[in-house]
Amino acid sequence: MRYSFSVLTATALALLPFVQAAKEVFAHFIVGNAPNYDLSDWQDDIALAQNASIDGFVLNIASQDASNANSLTNAFRAANAANFKLFFSFDYNAQAPWSKNDVTTLINRWANERSYFKPDNTYKPLVSTFEGPGHAEDWHDIKGKTNCLFIPDWSSLGAANAATTASSVADGLFSFDAWPKGPSVMTTEVDESYREALGGRPYMMPVAGWFYTNLPGWNKNWLWKGDELWDTRWQQVIDFQPDFVEILTWNDYGESHYIGPVREKSLGLFQSGNAPLNYAKNIPHDGWRKLLPYYIQQYKQGSKAQPTKTSTTIVTMAPTATSITTVVTTLTTIVTAPASSKTSVPFRVKVVAQENVAVKEEAIVAYYRINPAKACNNGNTTGNDPNYQQVYAPDELLQDNIFITALLAEPADISVSVGGRDLNATFSKKMPQVGGAGIYSGKVLFTNSTGDVVVSVSRTLQNGTTVLIVEARGGPSITTECVGGMVNWNPAVISS
């Protein structure tokens, strides 16, 4: 919920650029891909997510999944111990639609756990869905019996219809529309439509790095354009400033948009989905987590935050709802919520100092497909979903490029080699328009090269000496030998 505050003094404005409710970043976790997880696996995944500044997991759970009970027990046990947040997303498409009694029972069983996420300005347990608009009327009863904050994904309806379905039963909305259509680049057009339709209700914005699926058993064999998507989308998040962010996903290996570790015990879906190749095995995406602390800090501090070499001070307080007194050592400012505010519960205020986001560690991330587009059979994979979109050839949407993103404190030079051959790469995009700290990115074709990929950043010092700053290597080699004779359209991600 957003608040307008009384006029601050000039001194306060200089020191406190904005005051707002806390933002949160979550990763979508497919519980059905973790039936063989033990407690230590949940603990490990949560630790990795926290190291990437992710606040919690959205637990996608399917109806009638026998593994749910054990998985949820371990998930909440691990999250409670780690002060990590969890909330449910009821998947209405995976096996069978959820009954409202089962939904109500699960929410009431787990919502009082210490780790179950309740937004600071409501203190209601947040609940989402993957689709299920045909059961929207159920949620009037469910909300009445659970006091939940309901933010579903009803992307199949579009923003306007989703916002008004079942007498506007949704308290906010999440969109699963995280990928561009055809050869176009990703924009915030869909996000804008949600913001307009919601009229001030909260919006959860999706972020994804890729999409490729080849699971004939489930009638799925297409890809969407993922080139440069991860970094582009995070910049859009920083500019758009949604209420929440949901990363798609932590562990959906079947759709190739995982950012968590590839665990052998979680790859059974390739067999059950009759996949012609296991396109996630030995194809890591861990590198996409490398820059998340920076992106997330930028998002949480606001679109005007600029990268610096100085850390940012954040003071967090939990005052009362209708009369907030904020005391800072160097200044005292009375900040009062308007009398018209409907809230009657405590909420958190973050006071962010004017010093902005620091580049605490220089880093490099690179991703690439291990097979050139023309190396082998394309596996009959289409660009776009043929069920409702114009179809393209896969190589019309994906380029044979190595994509590079670096977080640097100051300008530097990039080098990319494949099989020992230098590809003459350069940074083509720089978020600092004229030098300085921030994100630098570029891409370079690898079509005629095979072998190990090495990406390095170096800088020439004032004395003329060139020093290596960061380097990424150790990922799978680029090769024209394809598993099953088909191009693997899932990229490998490496980082420093």
Residue 433 pLDDT level (bands cut at 50, 70, 90): low
Q: Which residues neighbour 203 within 8 Å (Cβ) at sequence distance 6 or greater? A: 172, 173, 174, 175, 191, 194, 195, 242, 243, 244
Strand order in the sheet with 19-20: 19-20, 349-352, 314-317
Residue 306 pLDDT level (bands cut at 50, 70, 90): low
Nearest partner of 446 among 213, 227, 212, judged by Cα: 227
Please tell me the predicted confidence (pLDDT) of residue 304.
Answer: 56
Please tell me the predicted confidence (pLDDT) of residue 353.
Answer: 31
pLDDT tens-digit readout, 84-136: 999 999 999 998 899 999 999 999 999 999 999 999 878 899 999 999 999 99
Please tell me the predicted confidence (pLDDT) of residue 434.
Answer: 60
Residue 429 pLDDT level (bands cut at 50, 70, 90): confident
In this prediction, residues 187-206 reach a mean pLDDT of: 98
Sketch out the chain's domains with CATH numbers: 10-301 (3.20.20.80), 363-495 (no CATH)
Per-residue tokens: 372: 């050139």
Please tell me the predicted confidence (pLDDT) of residue 43.
Answer: 99
**Cis peptide leading into residue 249 (ω within 30°):** yes
Please tell me the predicted confidence (pLDDT) of residue 300.
Answer: 96
In whole angstroms, give the CA distance from residue 80 to residue 475: 34
Q: Quick one: what percent of the chain has pLDDT higher than 70?
A: 84
Per-residue tokens: 49: 């997510």
Of 46-55, 317-326, 371-380, the one with minimum mean pLDDT is 317-326
pLDDT tens-digit readout, 468-479: 999 999 999 999
Tell me which amino acid residue 329 is: T
Of 310-324, 359-373, 430-444, the one with minimum mean pLDDT is 310-324
Q: Which residues neighbour 359 within 8 Å (Cβ) at sequence distance 6 or greater? A: 294, 307, 308, 309, 407, 408, 409, 437, 438
pLDDT tens-digit readout, 253-293: 999 999 999 999 999 999 999 999 999 999 999 999 999 99
Q: Please state, rounded to an integer, the average pLDDT across all residues of the chain.
A: 87
Nearest partner of 226 among 399, 41, 469, judged by Cα: 399
Q: What is the length of the chain?
A: 496
In this prediction, residues 294-311 reach a mean pLDDT of: 76
In whole angstroms, give the CA distance from residue 457 to residue 468: 6
B/e letters for 178-208, b = 16+ CB within 10 Å, e = fewer, are: bbbbeeeebebebbebbbebbeebbbbbbbb
In this prediction, residues 335-342 reach a mean pLDDT of: 35
Burial class (CB in 10 A: 0-12, 13-18, 19+), 11: exposed
Alpha carbon separation from 267 to 138, 262, 264, 287, 477 (Å, rounded):
34, 8, 6, 20, 22
Task: Check whether 8 has a pLDDT greater than 50.
Answer: no
In whole angstroms, give the CA distance from residue 261 to residue 280: 10
Of 78-82, 161-165, 316-320, 440-444, the one with minimum mean pLDDT is 316-320
pLDDT tens-digit readout, 135-176: 999 999 999 999 999 999 999 999 999 999 999 999 999 999
